Amino acid sequence: MPTVHIPPQMRDLTGGKAVVRVKGKSMRQVVAALEADFPGMAARLQDGDRFASGLTASIDGVITNRGMFAAVGEESEVHFHPALGGGA
């Protein structure tokens, strides 16, 4: 099962847990599993087929540009991050 690192601002939904393991072979399935275990997570993590505004995710240290369609391995580590933007 993938290991998911929960951002501090979302740990109120996990009872303070910083790391959880859930089933899923795609980010969509991982978010659905998080929602099943910790109601309210999906509303904070996704907006339809995309990550919620201002949010991105990395899988095994690589920021994904596939959103909810990104593949997740059985032993993957998933992190959610604030999206970075800007530049000149």
Cβ-defined contacts of 67-72 (< 8 Å, 24+): 67/27, 68/26, 68/27, 68/28, 68/31, 69/26, 69/27, 69/28, 70/26, 70/27, 71/25, 71/26, 72/2, 72/24, 72/25, 72/26, 72/27, 72/29, 72/30
* CATH code of the domain covering residue 11: 3.10.20.30
**Domain-located, residue 47:** yes
Per-residue pLDDT, 88: 54
User: Lowest-confidence range among 42-46, 74-78, 83-87?
Assistant: 83-87
**86 has a pLDDT exceeding 60:** no
**48 has a pLDDT exceeding 90:** no
Indicate the pTM of the whole model.
0.90
**Domain-located, residue 88:** no
**Domain-located, residue 53:** yes
Task: Give 60's DSSP letter.
Answer: T
Provide the sign of the torsion angle of the four alpha carbons 74, 76, 82, 86, taken in this order: negative
* Residue 34 lies in domain: 3-82
**Count of structural domains within the chain:** 1
